[in-house]
Structure 1
Amino acid sequence: MTEQEFSRQIEAIAKKDANQITVFEKNLLAIVATYSAPLAKKLLEINTNERFNLYTGKDPIDINIIAADGSRYMYENPVSDVEKQLESFEKEYARYKALFIYGLGNGVLLKGILGNPAHSTTVVFEPEIEIIYIVLHLLDFSAEITGSRLVIFQTDVMKFTDYFHIVGLKDVLSCARLYSLYIISPFYERYTSNMSLINENMTKAFMQHLRIAGNDGTDSMIGVNHTTLHIPDMLEGIPLSHIKKQRAKKTKTAIIVSTGPSLDKQLELLKKAKDHATIISVDASYSILKAHGIKPDYATTMERCPETSEFFNSPVSAFDDEIIFCATTLTHPNTIKYLKGRNASYIFRPLAYEFGFKDTDFGYLCAGPSAAHFAFDLAAYLEHEKIIFIGQDLAYGKNRSTHATGHTAKEAAELDKKADTEYAPAYGGDGLVETHATWNLFRQYFEADIVARKKSNENLCIYNATEGGARIAGTIEEPFKEILENEVLTEIKPHFSLPKKLNERQKEAKYKKYSKHVKSVLKYGEKLQKKCQKLFLKLAKQIELAKKLKALGKAEKINYEKLRELALEIDDFKLGLDNEIFRGSYYALLISHITNQELELTAILARPSDTDEEKKEKLFLWVSVHGTWLFNIAGGISVMRENIEKSSQKWLR
């Protein structure tokens, strides 16, 4: 079935009257609308079940699925088996927000599980496409799928991007410590190797999301300081919106130049492309391109650390004319210093603190973890039809080389010291290549980003012409020479003058807007800190008293009613944090603490509380952990207030 045929069939189903549409069609439309058109397409391509037979009895839940050769049954006694299983399942998992289930079974148990509103997200991994086909004909899950409470994956075709997507679903990350794969029926015990692969990929996906959140707030605080400090430099630079207004859609192809070992062999070809395509150099490639006389249109840099600034620590020359150096506002001050005299555009990253300024003239790009991801964002932002990666090895080269000739050796040495060796699919699909944990993270982020880009723009072509290193799923692998000859050299890149900067009136308006925002953040933070400290002191007093009584064996004398009152106060306080000003300011520093603390709190919530003793212990733990939570929140607010005041004093109106 072609994509066009699939689209026509889905459109025809969507146009049906409500009384004509089948259960299967309702489920299909829900899957297409929410998360997986490819799964819906595979299901539509099935004409009838061949590998499994269906048995239904008089009772509507008396449903069994049997292998066509009669060798395996989903259940011995579907009705009693499912009823007993649901009872035991809910006893253990009743309070779990996110569930991970291996197998659809006959769908009846899953329907029962979804009846508990506490389960906000249920992820089902089913190895057999035909079982998905059968179950979706029997039971209507369209409401749960549309509401994102249920997602079903066919495991044979899952990519890492799917696992990354799963961890981003509601309440899934907070349940990282509770993760376990529940096997819905003994029928699935033969798929143990598939279960192991799922567990491995889920672990990696959880780790990647937690890395993005950060282990502590140090990096975030550095970023907040730098962004606040660099506001005057940003306003003196070229606004991102002016670049887009002048250049979007004007050039079809963008070539992103990274510094993998394979770049050496592409440089002569790149010279031929400079008059035909936009060239975007990552910071580390800038000096290499300069040495070979290849002038990029843009150079991207995004790190907070001083080492990255050194890529631009060279005299300004005629080579720099017309290059726009795109740096994130959180970049190190040395980068600002070295870019003086060059054409700079300082850009807000799409992070909590930067979003607080609400200014799309200077934002928002660079969601990813490297300058190459920044370059990819920029290429997409300028609406190029084709994006080509070169030098994007993301793996060790021959003799364990890490970068192209001419790259600074310091980063390579640091990677070798860490020695977090991993393996990834090789470019071209032939075997595996040795890579590093950091590069693997970058590769996986690219793959997730590419999926998202293609969803919003089906006509976008993304090529990987690296011709070496690791495979990046979602890209078209072709030799750079062939892409140039077939796709690029026939184009003519227009010549652009430099986009205009802000005039004095516009700059002053920005200063006033930013000053008003920063003052409101500081005032809000002062009030919030006092409220937080007051509640913490109340908690600390009761927790200390309860601990003493426990130590004396007098737990029955603990004032649990007071603890319940405090728990309600905590709930009110946390609800108060769900507002725009908190998310656009202090959340930037506190995200890592909140994320990691929520893992512990979610685990406490999931504990059984059937007996009076269990309920009391759960209440005590809940309030105790929030004592630490409040202490860190108050401390983080104090630190951030002091830093913002100091970093903004030179420009605050």
Structure 2
Amino acid sequence: MSILQYNYNPLSDRFPHVIKGLNDSNSLNNPIDYKEAIDRDDLWLQAVENSIKDCKIVFVYGFGRGLSIADLLDQYPDRWFFVYEPDVSLFNQTLSQYDVSLLLSHPNFYWLSVGEKQLNMLFHMVCSYMIKDLAFVALRHYLEMDMDHLRDIKSQFLEYRDTFYANKFTENRFREDWTQNYLYHIADTLHTPSIEQLFYAFEGVTAVVVSSGPSLQEDIDYLKKLKPHVLIIAAGSSIQALIKNGIQPHLTVIMDGHPINKKVFSNPNALKSPLLFTTSSYYEISDAKKHEKVHSIMKGDAVSQYFFQKDRDELLMYPTATVAGTSIQAAAYLGAKRIILAGQDLSFPNHQLYTDGINHFTNETVNTMIKSANKELPNVKGGTNLSNDTFFHMKENIERLIETLTQVEFINTSRYGAVIEGAPFQPIETLYDQLLAEKDNISPNAIGDWINENTNGLDRNRVLNVQQRVEATLTDLLIVRSEIVVLQKNMNKLRELSRTKPLKAQKKLELIENLWGSIANRDWFSPIMESIIPLQIAKFDKLLPIIITEQDLIRKTDLVYDHLGQLLVDIDERIPQLQDMFMEAIRRMDKLQEVESSDLD
């Protein structure tokens, strides 16, 4: 067996994404200038000691030949190492020339990412396990050759960490709504086309993404005139303003999972246009819309991905902080060459939040939001607008999308709003003649017509497969409740044994680890539990490095008893609620098949 094959075995078992990255890379023949001392680098290790201190999680920039990584693992047997090698060519050469299989198999060598495309993957893993402090160290070669890039990577990580934690708290805030929506939407997802199926169905069009900001009022009359020539996409609550002004958009997009949407769509005319719903959106809205629907399973929806057996890479849409971001992606994937942003103020111009016709929040709620504005953003007129953290985050999301969608021209017509990088401001009246001259003709129900022409009957085999997976998960949830009881019984005397009979305590710990593993390693466990109790799962994940690497038996048993014990209680408390959700999801799939059968009759 070659050295490369020896190394590929642990990579296949533990880091298959690395092999995929190596296979996909076209940079394997780049010249390599890399030196790493064979002897132990004591000066470097001394400098590293000042960085690591008491940190349990260590981010290592560079893998190199693996020699320095081996020294770190030897010197710090109670730490977890997350390693990033930026040079794909160097890593590929190391695999071919050096046997690093034992290193790659080491339990404390916890994660490996190779190449820039896998950097965010490593950031995610580090954020999942770090509690407070993170040690950031780099191999000597990169300290000497690439210091500016090291600073940039550290800055990128800190930005990613802030977003990661904000997302976790958002997930926790909406955990019940989102989990319920994911499950209740399964039936609707089974009989509607996906956004992936409409990919580039309207190539070359101009799309207007309409949001609810005060500037929209200035664009309304032009939108009426332009509807025959552009795709009008209503982002969430903006449908209220469009309906008030007699405009039926070509597509309405919903993403928000809160029941407040019942008020947004209380006017029956609000659901006349074709609807794109994400699986996180409030389920009663798509329930009320009987035909001309499109769904999107987003890359952040692990629950739907599990039940539909979808790989994340198969999906187009990324979750964003605003439904405008979802609408922008939809416009781009429909094939828009140009996207105009209307009513996208991202601030409180003239102390206003919404345009006329938006009324799902009370005046008191709106005034409270405006009074709490704690930021200022430059506006398109050269001044500044009051804004807040939420709008600031939305703005960043939209600008990041614009950077990504390089094939699309962006224009911002929101004349009182914040500056949006990558979308220069241009009043809609100056665009009007240009858009008319392009002579694009779009039928009033262009997207609805596409849906009607391309929607096939229900795929009963697919329905059966998904329903069986849902039913099996429901059954297994109830089995897990009984397994939790057994696990808790074994934990009850753990602390006492650790102090009086250490050998028995060690065996009990091994049994508990196996029992917990049989629960946590179920395929459905991560998507379902991280959806319904995200903070509790995240907290336990962060404590794992401490629990696993703790050498003192008494402290170890205390950690297991306290933290695994609490997590088991949290899981057990949520199972009855999940049981109700699953039963309703199954009822909806049964009803879907009954309706389909009656239509055929």
TM-score (norm 2): 0.71
Amino acid at match of 2:267: S
The structural deviation recorded for 1:242 is 9.2
For residues 47-66 of structure 1, the aligned pairs below 5 Å read none
CA 1:92/1:515 → structure 2, altered by over 3 Å: closer, same or farther? closer
For residues 274-353 of structure 1, the aligned pairs below 5 Å read 274-316=227-269, 323-332=273-282, 334-336=284-286, 339=289, 343-350=292-299, 351-353=301-303
CA 1:385/1:560 → structure 2, altered by over 3 Å: closer, same or farther? farther
- Show the counterpart of 1:632: 570
Q: Say whether 1:121 aligns with 2:51.
A: no
**How many residues end up aligned between the 2 structures?**
531
The structural deviation recorded for 1:85 is 1.9
Q: Say whether 1:357 aligns with 2:307.
A: yes
SS at match of 2:307: coil
The structural deviation recorded for 1:514 is 3.4
CA 1:269/1:494 → structure 2, altered by over 3 Å: closer, same or farther? closer
Does the CA contact (< 8 Å) of 1:260 and 1:402 recur in 2?
Answer: yes
Aligned pair partner of 2:479 in 527, 531, 539: 527
Aligned pair partner of 2:31 in 12, 22, 43: 22
- Show the counterpart of 1:210: 165
Q: Say whether 1:367 aligns with 2:367.
A: no
Does the CA contact (< 8 Å) of 2:58 and 2:137 recur in 1?
Answer: no
**Residues in 1 aligned to 2:545 and 2:260: alpha-carbon distance in whole angstroms:** 39
For residues 244-283 of structure 1, the aligned pairs below 5 Å read 244=198, 248-283=201-236
SS at match of 1:265: helix
Q: Say whether 1:173 aligns with 2:116.
A: no
The structural deviation recorded for 1:261 is 2.2
For residues 61-80 of structure 1, the aligned pairs below 5 Å read none
Q: Deviations over 1:412-458 (max 9, x none)?
A: 7436546664436535696864322222232333344445x44xxx4
The structural deviation recorded for 1:492 is 0.6
Q: Say whether 1:588 aligns with 2:526.
A: no
Does the CA contact (< 8 Å) of 2:195 and 2:294 recur in 1?
Answer: no
Does the CA contact (< 8 Å) of 2:128 and 2:541 recur in 1?
Answer: no
Q: Deviations over 1:318-364 (max 9, x none)?
A: x976x212233454455246546x7444554441222233188x987
CA 1:16/1:593 → structure 2, altered by over 3 Å: closer, same or farther? closer
Amino acid at match of 1:443: K
- Show the counterpart of 1:410: 361
Amino acid at match of 1:593: Q
For residues 461-540 of structure 1, the aligned pairs below 5 Å read 461-473=409-421, 475-481=422-428, 482=430, 489-495=437-443, 496=446, 497=449, 499-500=451-452, 506=458, 508-509=460-461, 511-540=463-492
- Show the counterpart of 2:99: none
Q: Say whether 1:240 aligns with 2:194.
A: yes
Does the CA contact (< 8 Å) of 1:597 and 1:629 recur in 2?
Answer: yes
The structural deviation recorded for 1:640 is 1.1
CA 1:242/1:559 → structure 2, altered by over 3 Å: closer, same or farther? closer
**Residues in 2 aligned to 1:303 and 1:593: alpha-carbon distance in whole angstroms:** 23
SS at match of 1:407: coil
Q: Deviations over 1:386-432 (max 9, x none)?
A: 3332222222212x211223222626743654666443653569686
**Residues in 1 aligned to 2:340 and 2:330: alpha-carbon distance in whole angstroms:** 13
- Show the counterpart of 1:128: none
SS at match of 2:174: helix
**Residues in 2 aligned to 1:430 and 1:616: alpha-carbon distance in whole angstroms:** 64
CA 1:253/1:568 → structure 2, altered by over 3 Å: closer, same or farther? farther
- Show the counterpart of 1:392: 344
CA 1:646/1:478 → structure 2, altered by over 3 Å: closer, same or farther? closer
CA 1:143/1:382 → structure 2, altered by over 3 Å: closer, same or farther? farther
Q: Say whether 1:376 aligns with 2:328.
A: yes
- Show the counterpart of 1:98: 59
The structural deviation recorded for 1:587 is 4.3
Q: Deviations over 1:113-171 (max 9, x none)?
A: 685466543579xxxxxxx9xxx9xx9678899x9847999xxxxxxxx9x94884433
The structural deviation recorded for 1:298 is 0.5
Amino acid at match of 2:357: G
SS at match of 2:125: coil
- Show the counterpart of 1:34: none
**Residues in 2 aligned to 1:383 and 1:493: alpha-carbon distance in whole angstroms:** 15
For residues 449-468 of structure 1, the aligned pairs below 5 Å read 449-451=401-403, 453-454=404-405, 458-468=406-416
Amino acid at match of 1:641: Q
Q: Deviations over 1:212-247 (max 9, x none)?
A: 2346767333333344445555566x53369617x6
Does the CA contact (< 8 Å) of 2:509 and 2:557 recur in 1?
Answer: no
Q: What is the aligned-residue identity percentage? A: 15
CA 1:165/1:568 → structure 2, altered by over 3 Å: closer, same or farther? same
Unaligned runs of 5+ in 1: 1-13, 28-55, 63-78, 125-131, 154-161, 189-193, 547-554
The structural deviation recorded for 1:299 is 0.8
SS at match of 1:261: coil
**Residues in 2 aligned to 1:433 and 1:114: alpha-carbon distance in whole angstroms:** 54
Unaligned runs of 5+ in 2: 1-24, 74-78, 96-103, 105-110, 144-148, 594-601
Q: Deviations over 1:357-391 (max 9, x none)?
A: 3188x987562343222212322332323333222
Does the CA contact (< 8 Å) of 2:308 and 2:466 recur in 1?
Answer: no
The structural deviation recorded for 1:281 is 0.6
Aligned pair partner of 1:644 in 582, 586, 589: 582
SS at match of 1:520: helix
Does the CA contact (< 8 Å) of 2:231 and 2:442 recur in 1?
Answer: no
SS at match of 1:356: helix
The structural deviation recorded for 1:180 is 6.1
CA 1:581/1:255 → structure 2, altered by over 3 Å: closer, same or farther? same
**Residues in 2 aligned to 1:636 and 1:440: alpha-carbon distance in whole angstroms:** 34
**Residues in 2 aligned to 1:447 and 1:403: alpha-carbon distance in whole angstroms:** 21
Does the CA contact (< 8 Å) of 2:229 and 2:436 recur in 1?
Answer: yes
SS at match of 1:628: helix
Amino acid at match of 2:397: Y
Does the CA contact (< 8 Å) of 1:167 and 1:206 recur in 2?
Answer: no
Q: Say whether 1:220 aligns with 2:175.
A: yes
**Residues in 1 aligned to 2:26 and 2:256: alpha-carbon distance in whole angstroms:** 50
**What is the RMSD computed on CA atoms of the aligned residues?**
4.9
**Residues in 2 aligned to 1:572 and 1:144: alpha-carbon distance in whole angstroms:** 39
**Residues in 2 aligned to 1:648 and 1:570: alpha-carbon distance in whole angstroms:** 33
